[in-house]
């Protein structure tokens, strides 16, 4: 599994602390949840400055 860490240090530390104290049977679930949420966060942060073109729209269709 690819583990995507949060780009902001305070949230990364908070997530790591949570996982360290998480029961073993729940840890995998929360690792996946954090990884998915962190990758979504990174995606939305990276696309804020992106302006789609007509070509992008046509390719999307």
Q: What is the pLDDT of residues 3-52, one digit of tens each?
A: 889 999 999 999 999 999 999 999 999 999 999 999 999 999 988 788 88
Query: What is the reported pLDDT for 48?
Result: 79
Model pLDDT, residue 51: 86
Tell me the C-alpha distance between 59 and 51, whole Å.
Answer: 15
- Taking CA atoms, 57 is separated from 20, 40, 50, 53, in Å, by 44, 21, 13, 6
């Amino acid at each position: 599994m690819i583990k995507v860490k949060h780009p902001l240090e305070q949230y990364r530390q908070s997530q790591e602390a949570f996982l360290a104290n998480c029961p073993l049977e729940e840890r995998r679930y929360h690792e996946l949840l954090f990884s998915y949420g962190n990758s979504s966060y990174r995606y939305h942060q990276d696309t804020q400055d992106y302006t789609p073109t007509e070509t992008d729209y046509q390719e999307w269709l």
